[in-house]
């Protein structure tokens, strides 16, 4: 009997240890999840909150890939893109991030900066296209049959997701404080799955919202319900435009902030110091809301820096990097 009691004591002790370990995992996942959701309470949360900009842009970009395709295929296409996104994050990017963390941790800041510059370029290019519209590359593939067009759209969406997912995972990796490699991998995997569910769950709702509005408008039992449905259908284009605008602004804020902090890590303090002084001066003008004012001014100036950096990159990418890449591809084809 005493042996049985001792065994039960051992099992209870092991259970307590396991519970403590699970609490550690949950605590770390909670920290990173709060950061990804946009917490700006402290310096550590700021790094993770920058993922929010990439998440918003991901949610804003994806619905265009189901445009002009049959309504019955919208959710299956979103699911296929979501599966591709999970593959990107968990099978490719997570092991790569852990290897990088072990073998070359010094490369994290340069990679973050490259990702930040990419976001600045994308955001600035969207602004430039808004002022100087151009024909999209989607005009040609409309002649394809629905199956081929769907494959093309899904492939393009997964490739775009890979870039955005790489930025999200890199930012999340930088935000995880625990040093144990297994714990870091577990937390990073939880963040990747959580963000994917958040993004593509929202995308699924967005792409079907107009259909739900149409059903309410046509089949609603009460006048208020029918009016609500008509309002949803009528305002969907404006909603998608608003989401795209917010996504662009978030990209520029995130990209600019990453580059500014990266420059500080390499000893270039000028942009960061100027932004900090401006935010401090604005906060002193409204002491009752000093924290909110300082954050708003910092985010706005980070975004302005992102616009400037992106505008500089546009001619460099379009006139130098893209022609160079095209030339290399032609040489490889030969």
What's the pLDDT score for residue 68?
A: 58
For residue 145, CA distances in Å to 27, 80, 140 come to: 49, 18, 12
What is the per-residue pLDDT across 31-79, written as a single tens digit (0 to 9) for each? 544 444 333 334 334 434 445 555 655 555 566 566 556 667 778 888 8
What's the pLDDT at 185? 84
Q: What is the pLDDT of residue 263?
A: 92
For Cα atoms 262, 113, 187, give the angle at the middle one, nearest 5 degrees.
95
The string of pLDDT tens digits covering residues 208-217 is 777 787 777 7
Closest of 174, 49, 180 to residue 110, by C-alpha: 174
Give the alpha-carbon dihedral of 71, 73, 77, 80, to 10 degrees. 150
pLDDT digits (tens, 9 = 90+) for 226-248: 888 888 888 877 877 787 787 78
Residues 6+ apart with CB under 8 A from 193: 86, 89, 90
Q: Give, to the nearest 10 degrees, the angle between helix 74-86 and helix 146-175.
A: 40
Which of 14-23, 57-66, 255-264 has the highest average model confidence (pLDDT)?
255-264
User: Residue 328 class from Cβ within 10 Å (0-12 exposed, 13-18 middle, 19+ buried)?
Assistant: exposed
- Spell out where 21-131 has E strands: none
Q: What is the model's pLDDT at position 274?
A: 94
Average pLDDT in the 16-22 region?
44
- Say whether pLDDT at 153 is over 90: no
Mean pLDDT score of the chain: 75
Pair 272, 261: CB distance under 8 Å: yes
Q: What is the pLDDT of residue 12?
A: 44
- Which pLDDT score, from 0 to 100, does residue 310 have? 93
Task: Give the pLDDT score at 65.
Answer: 60
pLDDT digits (tens, 9 = 90+) for 105-144: 888 888 888 888 888 898 898 888 888 765 544 444 444 5
Q: Are 161 and 34 in contact (CB under 8 A)?
A: no
What are the tens digits of pLDDT across the range 273-313? 999 999 999 999 988 888 889 989 999 999 999 999 999 99
Transcribe 187-222 into DSSP letters: HHHHHHHHHHHHHHHHHHHHHHHHHHHHHHHHH-SS
Contact (Cβ atoms closer than 8 angstroms) between residue 65 and residue 151: no
């Amino acid at each position: 009997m005493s042996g049985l009691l001792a065994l039960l004591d051992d099992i209870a002790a092991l259970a307590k240890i396991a519970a403590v370990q699970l609490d550690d995992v949950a605590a770390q996942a909670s920290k990173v999840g709060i950061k990804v959701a946009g917490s700006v309470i402290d310096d550590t949360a700021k790094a993770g909150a920058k993922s929010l900009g990439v998440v918003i842009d991901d949610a804003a970009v994806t619905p265009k890939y189901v445009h002009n395709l049959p309504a019955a295929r919208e959710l299956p296409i979103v699911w296929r893109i979501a599966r591709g996104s999970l593959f990107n994050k968990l099978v490719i990017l997570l092991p790569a991030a852990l290897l990088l963390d072990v073998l070359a941790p010094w490369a994290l800041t340069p990679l973050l900066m490259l990702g930040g510059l990419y976001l600045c370029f994308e955001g600035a290019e969207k602004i430039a296209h808004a002022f100087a519209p151009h024909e999209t590359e989607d005009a040609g593939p409309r002649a394809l049959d629905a199956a081929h067009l769907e494959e093309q759209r899904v492939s393009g969406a997964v490739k775009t997701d890979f870039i955005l997912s790489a930025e999200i995972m890199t930012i999340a990796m930088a935000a995880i404080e625990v040093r144990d490699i297994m714990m870091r991998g577990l937390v990073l995997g939880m963040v990747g799955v959580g963000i994917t569910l958040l993004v593509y769950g929202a995308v699924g709702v967005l792409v079907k919202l107009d259909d739900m509005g149409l059903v309410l408008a046509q089949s609603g039992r009460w006048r208020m319900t029918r009016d609500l449905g008509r309002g949803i259908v009528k305002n969907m284009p404006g909603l998608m435009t608003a989401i795209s605008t917010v996504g662009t602004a978030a990209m520029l804020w995130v990209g600019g902030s990453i580059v500014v902090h990266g420059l500080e890590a390499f000893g270039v303090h000028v942009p960061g110091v100027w932004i900090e002084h401006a935010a401090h001066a604005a906060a002193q003008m409204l002491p009752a809301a000093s924290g909110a004012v300082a954050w708003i001014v910092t985010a706005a100036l980070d975004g302005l820096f992102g616009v400037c950096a992106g505008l500089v990159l546009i001619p460099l990418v379009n006139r130098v990097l893209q022609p160079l890449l095209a030339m290399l591809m032609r040489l490889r084809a030969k």
